[in-house]
Structure 1
Amino acid sequence: MKRAKSDWSGALLVCAKCSKKVGGGFGPKGRERLAKALRHEPGFGKGRKAAFGVIEVKCLGLCPKDAVTVVDTRRPGEWLVVPAGSDVAELAGRFS
């Protein structure tokens, strides 16, 4: 088995089903999905060279109304429910 190095200090798991139900709701114009908006923040990305990974997963099973479920892999027991329209920069600062 081979190993691949990564610069990630952690990762965010973002529920794709919640993001789809919200229909965007994030970013400067409110049209981006949460995962994509987070990837635009400094230090976040989906590639191995990002400082913090952002992964969109199929469904996390918690389906809040007008919000997206997010799990920080460093704190798996604490899930976040992020309302549509929340400030992405503020959210990113919480994980830095």
Structure 2
Amino acid sequence: MKSVRSDWATALLVCRKCSKRLGGGFGPKGRTPLAKALRKELGVGKGRKGKFGVVEVKCLGVCPRGGVTIVDGANPGEWKIVPARHNIEEIVSALRLRG
């Protein structure tokens, strides 16, 4: 088995199904998906060379109304449900993420 190095401190798993149900739900106009808003706020580039990874996954099985489920890979025992239109800076602060 081959290994590939990554510079990620953690990976955030964002439920794509929840985001799709909201039709975005984040950003100034409420149309930006949570994963995209987090990437922009954290300054995460694509690929494995960024400081954090934001990965959209198919479905996490929680399916909250009016929110998106996320899992922080550094703390997999505690999943977060982020309500639509929640401030991105507050989300990042609650997850204790900063480069």
TM-score, scaled relative to structure 2: 0.89
Which residues of structure 2 form unaligned runs of 5+?
none
Q: Give the % identical residues.
A: 61
For this pair of structures, how many residues does the alignment match? Answer: 96
**3-state DSSP class of the match of 1:92?**
helix
**How far apart, in 2, do the equivalents of 1:89 and 1:46 lie?**
20
**How far apart, in 2, do the equivalents of 1:94 and 1:43 lie?**
17
**How far apart, in 2, do the equivalents of 1:13 and 1:81 lie?**
12
**3-state DSSP class of the match of 1:41?**
helix
Alignment of 1:5-20 (within 5 A): 5-20=5-20
- Over the aligned positions, Cα root-mean-square deviation in angstroms equals 1.3
Offset from partner CA, 1:29-68 (integer Å, 9 cap, x none):
2110000110101343442111111000000000100100
Alignment of 1:15-94 (within 5 A): 15-94=15-94
Moved over 3 A (4+): 43-46
Distance 1:46 1:77, change over 3 A: farther
Which residues of structure 1 form unaligned runs of 5+?
none
TM-score, scaled relative to structure 1: 0.91
